[in-house]
Every structure is written in structure tokens, then in C-alpha cells.
Amino acid sequence: MLSKRQGKRIAQAALLGLLAALLAGCWNAREIDELAFIVAVGVDKDQEEEGLVVSFRIANPTALSGGDSGGPQGGGPGSTETTFTVMVKGKTVAEAVSRLRTQIPRRPYFSHLQGIIIGESLARVGIGEVIDYFEREEELRRGVNIFVTKDITAAELFDRARQKLITISGIAISGLLAQAPETGFAPVVRLGDFLERFTSPRSETFAPVVTLAPATAMSTAAVDQVALRGTAVFKGDKLAGYLDEQETALLHLIIGGFRWTTFPVSGGGQISGDVRVNRMGGSIRVIDPAELHFLITIQLRGTLKQVHSHQSIDGPQLVERMAYELQRMLQEKVVALVDKLKTWGTDIVGFGETFYRSHPRVWFQEEVHTNWPDLFAQSKVDVSVDCLIVETGSIIRSAPFPQERPSEPAQKEGASP
């Protein structure tokens, strides 16, 4: 016969055992071998019927665990390919994700998503509802990168990409983005940054452009290498247009977000070269709120990367002249960029945000905010660039170019070369 104390101890032990069973977290248990790790999602407008075509790039754990990442990618699972693609049609992204579960034997898992790729056709008609899905999804993080395609669909990109340097995703988007700040030719835009601009009534959003390019210059080369190519600019939730790589570099000069970018410089027929710059500072200021007059200031520090030709000047004079010509050229090009954005009526630079922060009462009282795209198109923007070239690389003077070398004594007639 158990004593009262012993009975109590047994009851306590049973209760502890019961509670321990609850620690397994039954409802949310997700065994790793039951998950399908989605590494990239592409969303296109369905060209045949109303709805979307959603492409899922899914990790192939067999290939990953075997450490065998060689060979071409993009085929079916069960081989050595690190990822494979599944395309699903649906009226919405939510429906497509549900349909995906009927096509793969594992539960789709978005926690390791590297990129969301929006097809050009969808971007042109509006991405609001697609973005809403991704923003609500609990497994997704705001650090996921977002892209827009150009000249191809996201599905084509997934299907045709055969990256030479193998990456986990098979489409190299993370690796390419890691390089982007050192070229300035494509912006790095995470979902959180995209949403911050997307939801702001005072600015418009943008995303890097991703497309396919040939690996070599041969005309017969397959167009199968994923490449970043400038910026997709939105007006509201619709694609307004694209900025090329040089324009994207100029955009970076204004808003920051890059480490280095390189500009070709030439002037007066005397100098020609390439200067790599990094941004030391800069701002956008309102000069006159009544006239909507803005001033963009940019401070740059440069390194002379290459001299194409020089006729009469060299050394410090060459460097100073390069800096002067670069300043002049950048001022003109930044003004041209802003004019282009004005024609599209899309303020991705943040003039409205600057105006709101510096003159909030004018922004509200005069109802500037309701007509901002139109007012932005009428605004006056001045640009001031201050560039200092401080490095010349491993040399301080170029070797004499062939045309500048002293002429050789004439060779004797009949002498063999």
C-alpha cells in the first residue's frame, strides 16, 4: 500500500512525464527531411489565362549532402544538380503555393529564400497583391532580395540559367548581389527596403534588374548566364522603366549604397581614362520650398584606374584635370538622370522625403503631397559634385603610348625585320 507521500510523488512524476511529452512541439514539428527548401521564387503574369505563373527553385538535398555540385543545373531532382525548378499556375501566389504541395512530396519551406524575382510582364501590370503575400508570410524575412527581369520572364530565367560558376541556388543571385556594391551597376534591394519605399507616400521604389547574358562574345554562345543589368523603376506598384548600368551608378552617387563604381572620363581631346570613385558624402537639400528648388551635393574620392590617352599633360596636372572633367561630366549626367525620372513622374531619389522632413508644414498645408508626382516633374534640381582623385594605382605615370614614343631611326633598306 502506497503512503500518501509516495502517491503524491508518483503523481508529480507522471505530470512531469506528461509535460515532457508536450516539449516536442507536436503541432509545429518540421522534420528536415520533410521540407522542400525554396531558394528562389519567380512570379510572372500568365500570358494564356488570368492569373500567375509561379516558379519555385527548390534545393535538392541529395546533391547538396553528397557535396557533388558539379554539372549543369536546372534539371529534375534525383540527380547531382543542386536545385531544380517547379512551375505552378494559380490565380494568386497563395493558391500557387498550395498547388505546389500537390506536386512535390515535401512541405514548401521559405525560411531560406534568397530572392523573389518578378517577371517584367507582371511588373508592368502591378505587383501590389504579390508583394502583400510575401510581406505576410511568416517564414519570410525582410532581408530577402527582390529582382525584376528584363526581356525574359522569371520562368525562362529559372529554366535557361546554366551558371558557369556553380552556386547553391543554381542562379547565382546571391553571389551576384555580393559583387553589386563594388560595381554600382545594380542596386542591392532587400524586401524590407523595397517595402519601405513602396509604402511611403513620399517616394517610389526600385529593384535590381536581372536577365540572361551569353558567357562569351561568340555569336553562337548560349544566352544562359544570369546577369544584373541596372535598375527597374516603379511608379506606384507598376514598372515605369529601366535605368541602365551607368544611370544606376549615377543613382548610387545620389543615394549611396555602393562601395565603388567606375566612370569613363574624357575632356578637351587631351585626356581620356577611367576613374573609380567612392562616395564620401552627399545630401539633398531644399533651396527654395516655394519654387521646389533642390540642390544635390555629392562628394567623391577617386582612384585613377586607367589612362586611355594623354597628349601633353601628366602627373599631378593629369589627375587634377581628370577630377575636373569628371565633376563636369557627372553634374551633367545626374541632371539628365533626374530629368528622366521627372518624365516618368517617379521620385525614387527621395526629393519628396527630403521636402517632407525639412518643410513638413508646407508638405501638408499646401497639399503638396497629393500632387507630388506632378510637382516633382516641375521641380528645379541643381547638382554640385566635388571630386578628389587621390590614388593613381601602382604607378604615377603611364608608359609612353606608341604614338607618343620618340621615333626610331629609319631602318636600312633591304634589311630584314
Partner 1 sequence: MTLVGPPQKPSSEALSAREVTAILGMMYSAPIIYTPIRMFEVASTSAWIAGLLSGVVGAGTVYIWTRLSASFPRQTLPEFVPRIVGPYVGWAVNLMFLTYFVYEVAISTRMISEVVLQVLPETPIGVIMAMSLVTGALVTRLGPEVLGRMATIHLGIALTGFLFMVVALAPLVQLRNFQPFLVGGWFPVLQATTPPASLFSHITLISFLLPLVPLDPPDENAVQTRFRQGMKVGMIGIGISWLLFFLLLVLAQGVFSADETARLAIPAFSLARAIDFGVFFERVEVSLLALWLPAVLIKTCTFLYVASLTLGHLAATPSYRRYVLPLAGMTLPAAYTLASNLPELIRLVNGAWVIIAIGVKVLLPLLLLILHLVRGRVSSAF
Interface residues for partner 1 in 228-287 (CB under 8 A)? none
- What distance in Å separates the CA atoms of residue 91 and residue 264, rounded to the nearest whole number? 47
Which is nearer to partner 1, 134 or 242 (by Cβ)?
A: 134
Cα Dmax for the chain: 128
Using rule CB under 8 A, residue 98 touches partner 1: no
- What distance in Å separates the CA atoms of residue 302 and residue 326, rounded to the nearest whole number? 10
Here's the x/- map for partner 1, 335-354, by CB under 8 A: it reads as ------------------x-
User: Which residue in 247, 243, 234 sits closest to 124, CA to CA?
Assistant: 234
Point out which span in 66-74, 136-144, 161-169, 302-310 binds partner 1 (CB under 8 A): 136-144
Point out which span in 149-157, 209-217, 244-252, 356-364 binds partner 1 (CB under 8 A): 356-364
Using rule CB under 8 A, residue 128 touches partner 1: no
Which is nearer to partner 1, 194 or 376 (by Cβ)?
A: 194
Using rule CB under 8 A, residue 25 touches partner 1: yes
Using rule CB under 8 A, residue 360 touches partner 1: yes
Check if the beta carbon of residue 248 is closer than 8 Å to that of residue 137: no
Check if the beta carbon of residue 271 is closer than 8 Å to that of residue 248: no
Using rule CB under 8 A, residue 138 touches partner 1: yes
Which is nearer to partner 1, 260 or 356 (by Cβ)?
A: 356
Q: How far is the CB of 383 from partner 1 (least distance, A)?
A: 20
Using rule CB under 8 A, residue 143 touches partner 1: yes
Alpha-helical (H) ranges within 23-165 are 61-65, 93-100, 120-125, 128-136, 154-160
Point out which span in 23-31, 181-189, 227-235, 321-329 binds partner 1 (CB under 8 A): 23-31
Using rule CB under 8 A, residue 364 touches partner 1: yes
Which is nearer to partner 1, 357 or 397 (by Cβ)?
A: 357
Count the neighbouring beta carbons within 10 Å of the beta carbon of residue 61.
16
Count the neighbouring beta carbons within 10 Å of the beta carbon of residue 270.
14
Interface residues for partner 1 in 144-203 (CB under 8 A)? 192, 195-196, 199-200
Using rule CB under 8 A, residue 401 touches partner 1: no
Using rule CB under 8 A, residue 101 touches partner 1: no
- What distance in Å separates the CA atoms of residue 203 and residue 196, rounded to the nearest whole number? 9
Here's the x/- map for partner 1, 105-124, by CB under 8 A: it reads as ------x-------------
Which is nearer to partner 1, 342 or 359 (by Cβ)?
A: 359
Which is nearer to partner 1, 283 or 378 (by Cβ)?
A: 283
Which three cell numbers, joined as nine digits, stand for 343? 518624365
Which three cell numbers, joined as nine digits, stand for 84? 531544380
Please name the amino acid found at residue 190: R
Using rule CB under 8 A, residue 33 touches partner 1: no
User: Which residue in 150, 59, 70, 160 sits closest to 110, CA to CA?
Assistant: 59
Alpha-helical (H) ranges within 265-359 are 315-344, 351-358
Using rule CB under 8 A, residue 141 touches partner 1: yes
Check if the beta carbon of residue 149 is closer than 8 Å to that of residue 161: no
User: Which residue in 70, 346, 117 sits closest to 228, CA to CA?
Assistant: 117
Q: What is the dihedral of CA 344, 346, 350, 353, to 10 degrees?
A: 130
Q: How far is the CB of 257 from partner 1 (least distance, A)?
A: 12
Point out which span in 24-32, 61-69, 233-241, 386-394 binds partner 1 (CB under 8 A): 24-32
Which is nearer to partner 1, 158 or 198 (by Cβ)?
A: 198
- What distance in Å separates the CA atoms of residue 140 and residue 123, rounded to the nearest whole number? 21
Positive or negative torsion for Cα 285, 192, 119, 261: positive
Using rule CB under 8 A, residue 384 touches partner 1: no
Coil/strand/helix, residue 212: strand
The footprint of partner 1 on this chain (CB under 8 A) covers a number of residues equal to 21
> Which residues are 225's β-sheet partners?
213
Using rule CB under 8 A, residue 358 touches partner 1: yes
DSSP state of 180: G
The residues that touch partner 1, with contacts defined as CB under 8 A, are 22, 25, 27-28, 111, 138, 141-143, 192, 195-196, 199-200, 353, 356-358, 360-361, 364
